[in-house]
Chain A
Amino acid sequence: MPEETHSPWEYAPAPESRAIANLQPSYRMFVDGEFVDGAGEPLKSVNPATEETLAEVSSAAASDVDNAVRAARKAFDRTWGKMPGSERAKYLFRIARLIQERGRELAVLETLDNGKPIKESRDADIPTAAAHFFHHAGWADKLSYAGYGPDPRPVGVAGQVIPWNFPLLMLAWKIAPALACGNTVVLKPAETTPLTALVFAEICQQAGLPPGVVNILPGAGDVGAELVGHAGVDKVAFTGSTEVGKQIQRTLAGSGKKLTLELGGKAANVVFDDAPLDQAVEGIVNGIFFNQGHVCCAGSRLLVQESVAEELLDKLRSRIATLRVGDPLDKNTDVGAVNSAEQLERITALSATGDAEGASRWTSPCPLPEKGFFFSPTVFSDVQQSMRIAREEIFGPVLSVLTFRTPDEAVAKANNTPYGLSAGIWTEKGSRILWAAQKMRAGVVWANTFNRFDPTAPFGGYQESGFGREGGRAGLEAYLDV
């Protein structure tokens, strides 16, 4: 289909100004209310779309973890832990407002640091992060209504480790409920995406948050391991790979500490023959290409009823061919940059197993920029359940397509995975939506939509996708001593 490379839908580039990001040459870590130099080897944060170094970021060493945990403990004991919920609430409302006020700056900075399209950071990541603080602010003085007893207590100091795919949003998911419940936190952002977390630290200062309540320690996996295993931490929350999650669970075994894990996924997106196909195509695209497919709940296994498979795949390929891959700061860009060279290599290698195991690869004919880390949207058909591309999380813009004949077979195939984070259902029949949703062993089930998030809706996995929920009333449990 060569004509699709010359689509009539050409737009002039519409880049967002990077000046809005207010990018600094260097960023420092945040401990006890101050920006300080870390004792670790400084990190260089790279723009994955251009491979240029954005800034130097101080990184934590074991001594910094000690200091941060001590500061968090002090803040918990002296101020935050005993502050009335109604006062804590106002700090959280302030933070929410400040995120909104500085939303544009945060969005551009996030896109520079992460590589995600500006339209996603601007319209999804940052507003949802603010919404999480708004939602949890209201909980701070209403915890006795949450269903965990008349006066549930905070856990103490929370050690939190978050991934690079949604840097600020994951921070909000972790910090907002922790603070609402009266805990203090030490958070380690991902090695490759620390910048918005450090601007968030500035927001904490602007909000007048007492020192030590929030501490941000940039660093690599070793800092995370140090934090997770630190004796002064009462609760650990981790979002990331299943492999690291298992290590953390092993580390905490027998310690009696509270742990929540949000791990990988291999979500089934199930299209029944009566589905609104054009709408389904949009949802499938959103399910797997949103954020370059760097989404733990991405709909990476498309299960299509055999009778509509060919028609759907044709529609899908022509739609995907129109996706614009390129400059993340361009408002027209649909698919941005893969976050790091390492991740690009992983996606490339795992995709190669698809070819080797006999799946049929289709790659979008879109042009790719010459510099930066990019991967063309890719669809594998003729995929069997035993193939690695159907079993392992690829964490990139790669879709595997399988077919089924009956609803029961669809459910059996959807559940044939050790993961269980999310699932999608596409059908016009409401009763079938609810039937399939009941049968799916997954923490979130989207019907005729995909990748929707809301602070009021609990999110989290079954089986090896982790345990614990984030969001809503269920999400409070992780940060309460109940």
Chain B
Amino acid sequence: MSDRLAVAKTYKLYVGGKFPRSESGRSYPVRDAKGGFLANAAQASRKDVRDAVSAARKAFGGWSGATAYNRGQVLFRVAEVMEGRRDQFAAELRAAEGLSQKAAESAVDAAVDRVVWYAGWTDKIASVLGAANPVAGPYFSFSVPEPTGVVGVLAPQSSSLLGLVSVVAPVIAAGNTCVVVASCERPLPAITLAEVLATSDVPGGVVNLLTGHAEELGPWLASHADVNALDPVGAPGELRGELERAAAETVKRVLPVRGEPDWNRQPDIQRLRAFTEVKTVWHPVGT
């Protein structure tokens, strides 16, 4: 009797709700925390970035126009489906980050809870960041936060799941769509998250997950004229200046990053604020 040979999985990108290979045909080896071979991941190219941005743009109208209630439900559904894959995520975190079973489980729990936290924000952003402006004159003036548009996200390199959901959840909770470059050395939790997103009512294109090198893909995202904002948290420190310079060409919003935050800390609403625009409307009042 022989041991059963496991069915090895070929990992792909997640773009527009589908799982394509990289257009470039490239892949790169993913190793566990001890250096052992885990799998090959797709290595995204500039063209994949462009495809992902156009998928994100296409999805923006629907997602930003969905009701806050609907977006909140979809995000909560993400948390539900993540919960169902708890063991798989924990195993991947053990391999990727070299965590103990307990620490891995606690990171997964924190990630699920983080998504739930942001799910609850979708219908509160407007009342917390918006305002009725008591202007002098016969106008009803009000300010409402609106999503900025397509956000380029360079996900944290070391915190491969909790860090990832901590940067993606606020972007989509606020109604944006995004193109995310996953942790280069630890991409497997991101790919599993893509499978979660694909099966949890998140419309295709709202989140597009690319695996590959932030150094290679970041500049294309930062300079892309159809990307409205950038979260560079996962870019190497020395690259951030270059990305911000590229972003200036189209006056992109760039989230200010001071090193990698402690993802275990309860977040505030800075990331929700950073990817929303405040729109002020003056409506006449009269008989």
Contact = CB atoms under 8 A, between A and B. Distances in A.
A445 B280 contact: yes
Contacts of B135: 452, 454, 456-457
Contacts of B280: 443-445, 457-459, 472
Contact of A454 (B141, B268, B279): B141
Interface stretch (A39-47, A115-123, A245-253, A375-383): A245-253
Interface of A: 131, 147, 149, 242, 245-247, 249-250, 252-256, 258, 261, 263, 418, 430, 433-434, 437, 440, 442-449, 452, 454, 456-460, 462-467, 469, 472-474, 477, 482
Nearest to B277: A462
A464 B250 contact: yes
Contact of B256 (A147, A258, A465): A258
A474 B283 contact: no
Interface residues of B, number: 38
Contacts of B284: 447-449
B244 to A, nearest CB: 3
Interface stretch (B50-58, B68-76, B126-134, B188-196): B126-134
A457 B282 contact: yes
Contact of B283 (A430, A462, A465): A430
Contact of B136 (A250, A454, A458, A472): A454
Contacts of B251: 242, 245-246, 249, 261, 263, 463-467
A482 to B, nearest CB: 7
A381 to B, nearest CB: 27
B131 A473 contact: yes
B283 A434 contact: yes
B143 A147 contact: no
Nearest to A454: B135
B281 A437 contact: yes
Contacts of B243: 253
Contact of A445 (B129, B137, B247, B281): B281
A147 B130 CA distance: 11
A283 to B, nearest CB: 10
A467 B255 CA distance: 12
B281 A447 contact: yes
Contacts of B77: none
Contacts of B2: none
Nearest to A279: B284
B134 A442 contact: no
In this complex, the member of B129, B139, B248, B256 whose beta carbon has the largest number of chain A beta carbons within 10 angstroms is B248
Nearest to A447: B283
A134 to B, nearest CB: 11
